[in-house]
Amino acid sequence: MNMMMKIIRSRKTRLLTACMLLLPILFTLYYFRSGEMGSPDKRQLELQTFQLRDGWGYRIMMNRKMLIYQPTIPAIDTLMPFPDQASAHAIGSIVLERLNANRDFSITKGDIKARSHKH
């Protein structure tokens, strides 16, 4: 029975040691990961437009890292850039608003038509 007690103690010691090593690692990973994508308070979203050879595009940055790069008009069948900075900014603003509201940020043809009628 003495041998059995040593085996049980040895297993408990190994389990306790593993937990003591893993808990700080898991806590560190959770802490840094939640700060990256977590609460909207820690997210800093920014819309930037950029000029291409034949038009305009936009990108959305989160905490100074590129989250979305959109060099073409989304939701249409043809791959073409935005014709001007204002239209790229207008569609990028929709995406930014939806991201800030934690909603689906996909752009539809209806979104593009609605924005084109406003300007």
pLDDT tens digits for range 56-109: 999 999 999 999 999 999 999 999 999 999 999 999 999 999 999 999 999 999
More confident residue, 59 or 13: 59
| pTM of the complete model | 0.65
Domain identity same for 109 and 51:
yes
Domain hosting residue 81, numbered range = 45-118
Domain identity same for 34 and 54:
no
Domain identity same for 107 and 62:
yes
What letters, b where the CB count within 10 A reaches 16 and e where it falls short, cover 45-77?
bebebeeeeebbbbbbebeeeebbebbebeeee
Look at residue 35 and tell me whether its pLDDT is greater than 90: no
- Residue 112 identity: I
Domain identity same for 69 and 105:
yes
Domain identity same for 31 and 54:
no
Sign of torsion over alpha carbons 83, 88, 94, 98: positive
Look at residue 39 and tell me whether its pLDDT is greater than 60: no
| Confidence at residue 9, expressed as pLDDT on a 0 to 100 scale | 72
pLDDT > 90 in the chain, percent? 57
What is the band of 118 on the pLDDT scale with cuts at 50, 70, 90?
A: low
Domain identity same for 18 and 51:
no
Q: What is the mean pLDDT of the chain?
A: 82
Pairwise CA distance, residues 103 & 119, whole Å: 24
Count structural domains, the chain.
Answer: 2
Domain identity same for 9 and 55:
no
**DSSP string across 38-67:** S-TTT--EEEEEEEETTEEEEEEEETTEEE
